[in-house]
Amino acid sequence: ISGIVEARHDAREPPALPSKIPLIGHVIGLLQKKARYYAQLRHQQGAQIYSLAMPEGTKLYVVTSTKLIDAVQRQPKTLAFPPVGVKFAMSLAGSSKEANNIATDNINGEDGDYGLSMDFNKVVYPALSPGKSLEAMYSIIIPRIAASLDGLKAENSKGITIGLTQWVRHELTVTITDCVYGLGNPFRERAVEDAFWDFENDLFRIMMNLLPSVSARKGIQGRELITNAFLRYFQSGALATGSVFAQSRYANAAKHNVPLVDIARFETVTLIGTLTSTIRTVIWMLYHIYSNPSILSDCREEVPKIMTAFPMSEKNRTLQSLDITALKSNCPILGSTFQEVLRHHALGTSVRQVMHDTLLENRYLLKKGGMVLMPSVVVHSDPSLWGPSVNEFNHRRFLRPSPSANGTTSKKQQHRTPPPSAFRAFGGGTTLCPGRHFATTVTMAVTIMFVMRYELRPLEQGGRWPHITAHKTHAVAAVEQPDQEIELEVTGREGFENSDWMFRLEGSEPMLTTVAEDLA
Ligand code: HEM
């Protein structure tokens, strides 16, 4: 069998990596280890790009070097995302034949710059870029997050108990969807929220399409429930109170005559990107910061720079005003922690379809029909980019080294400064995540509000934080899903017992520049 695979392999293609079990070995590796399997193979072989033959004949070209990733991203028409992205969306949405015909018409812009697929980015990117629409979303979500945290204020010194994952998931599902959908937000109904997480949990099984009504029963039921909720939302006219992000996608689909029920189906799929990665990133942020006292104290040390205390008329009470806008220039450690959290936990893989036989960098033949994969985890775990401490969680890793008074780099900052293109949590090129600014701001805002107001202490193990694993994460996730729930006692911070809190965010300028494209 290996002979058959080798015979089909052109010597100019990237080196083929054999598997221990012929034909299905790589499939088993991917099912068990997901994107981390690609990193394991890179460590074993050290190739800049390698080929994996799948049993049904598809060739996967896995790119491991940032130089070749740049070369792939420079050819978005021949190494194209839309044919993959649209098929992926259709398989998850369960959309109708009519809608699929509309979605796949001129899918890659071969016949000009028109069609649903070509127009998607034209409406999504502006809606989520710094400007009025993003500002409007922030003006809703910041007070909503602040109100969620107000809800954790205990009447007595014992504090209140929450499950970390459950709390973040519920509060952010409701606040983010409120800010996207406005007054008629369907996710105000608990059944719709639960249905979404059932759907999300079954994404991979739905995508595999092996008797999904049995293998992914709960996920399919959840999807149908959300679709009906969105259908009622669109029919009610409530979208008029929603964000430009929601309105402009709806208008684009309606302009291309997508049936209403299919607009509702595609909306359910877009929500995966909108909700899941941000929510998981917030959970990992809180986990890493609170489970390591030195990270917590480093973050707390830099926050007073953005806080102002105002005496209140009520005796002994103080209003603490925290300027989230000023995080950017005053809280580099918090920003670096955010990037390090994503370096460790982001699992997204940028995918491109090879539209014609292509010679990459005049060297590697990529055959038509093959898939080019650029898994973030491969780049994020490369010691040649991050140095020997690549596997350590170093919350200062992304600080720009600043020379001390005597001209040397301070000891705390002695690590390799990675090139910006090595940070791939948001993908890159024409498919760079449009939600990165929103996700960054939301994550930083939730984190800063917790760090300033509350202590979090695990209820079990004598207050020690457990090690959290993420083995159950499904293969479609862009950020790892924590396996364990941690029950926490939340208490107010000592010294702030008589404080009330106010959080301000002005404008929508990026809070943090994390990707090479934004730096350029
Ligand atoms: C920490 C949170 C997030 C992470 C790690 C993340 C990551 C990603 C990644 C890896 C991609 C694919 C990039 C590629 O193929 O090169 C992507 C695409 C996308 N993301 Fe995000 N994302 C996050 C939050 C968000 C949010 C909050 C939104 C919406 C408000 C969003 C909307 C999208 C959309 C619409 C796409 C598809 C872009 C396209 O089709 O070209 N993401 N994201």
Split at pLDDT 50, 70, 90, the class of 264 is very high
What pLDDT score does 6 carry?
46
Protein residue closest via CA to atom 6 of ligand 1: 426
Which atom from ligand 1 is nearest to the alpha carbon of 430?
41
Calculate Rg over the CA atoms of the chain: 24
Is residue 281 in contact with ligand 1, taking CB distance under 6 Å? yes
Q: Is residue 370 part of a domain?
A: no
What pLDDT score does 155 carry?
77
What pLDDT score does 403 carry?
54
Residue 160, token pair as written in the block:
């209140």
Q: What is the DSSP string of 71-118?
A: HHHT-TTTEESHHHHHHHHHHHHT--HHHHHHHHTTTT-TT-S-SHHH
Q: Is residue 77 part of a domain?
A: no
Beta-strand runs (E) in 289-383? 307-311, 318-323, 349-354, 358-360, 364-366, 371-375
Q: Residue 186 pairs with which residues in a beta bridge?
A: none
Compute how many other C-beta atoms are within 10 angstroms of the C-beta atom of residue 129: 15
What pLDDT score does 222 carry?
98
DSSP 8-state code for residue 384: H
Mutate to test the pocket of ligand 1, among 79, 426, 473 (most ligand atoms within 8 A of CB): 426
What pLDDT score does 445 carry?
96
Which atom from ligand 1 is nearest to the alpha carbon of 270?
35
Compute how many other C-beta atoms are within 10 angstroms of the C-beta atom of residue 254: 13
Question: pTM to 2 decimals?
Answer: 0.95
Domain of 326: which CATH number? 1.10.630.10
Backbone φ, ψ for residue 458 (5° rounding): -60, 140
Q: Is residue 17 part of a domain?
A: no
Q: Residue 500 pairs with which residues in a beta bridge?
A: 319
Q: Is residue 367 part of a domain?
A: no
C-alpha distances in Å from residue 134, one per residue of 447, 505, 519: 20, 12, 20
Q: Is residue 248 part of a domain?
A: yes
Q: Is the dihedral of CA 386, 392, 398, 400 positive or negative?
A: negative
Q: What is the mean pLDDT of residues 23-48?
A: 87
Is residue 438 in contact with ligand 1, taking CB distance under 6 Å? yes
Tens of pLDDT, residue by residue over 295-345, are 999 999 998 889 999 999 887 899 999 999 999 889 999 999 999 999 999
Q: Is residue 21 part of a domain?
A: no
Tens of pLDDT, residue by residue over 109-141, are 999 999 999 999 999 999 999 999 999 999 999
Is residue 269 in contact with ligand 1, taking CB distance under 6 Å? no
Confirm if 212 and 205 have CB atoms less than 8 A apart.
Answer: yes
Rounded Cα–Cα distance for residues 415 and 520 (Å): 23
Strand pairing class (371-375; 59-63) = parallel
Tens of pLDDT, residue by residue over 202-237, are 999 999 888 998 999 999 999 999 999 999 999 999
Give the chain's mean pLDDT. Answer: 92
Identify the CA nearest to 432 among candidates 421, 441, 418.
421
Q: Is residue 41 part of a domain?
A: no
Rounded Cα–Cα distance for residues 303 and 451 (Å): 9
Greater confidence (489 vs 404) lies with: 489
DSSP 8-state code for residue 13: S
Identify the CA nearest to 437 among candidates 510, 343, 371, 340.
510
Which atom from ligand 1 is nearest to the alpha carbon of 438?
27
Is residue 124 in contact with ligand 1, taking CB distance under 6 Å? yes
What pLDDT score does 404 carry?
53
Confirm if 223 and 229 have CB atoms less than 8 A apart.
Answer: no
196 C-alpha to ligand 1 centroid (Å):
18
What pLDDT score does 44 carry?
79
Q: How many domains does the chain have?
A: 1
3-state secondary structure of 489: strand
Q: What is the mean pLDDT of residues 131-159?
A: 92
Which atom from ligand 1 is nearest to the alpha carbon of 374?
16
Residue 419, token pair as written in the block:
């090139």
Side chain identity at 338, as an amino acid letter? F
Q: Which domain holds residue 435?
A: 95-106+113-348+381-519
Beta-strand runs (E) in 210-334? 307-311, 318-323
3-state secondary structure of 513: coil
Q: What is the mean pLDDT of residues 406-435?
A: 78
C-alpha distances in Å from residue 248, one per residue of 83, 139, 239: 22, 19, 10
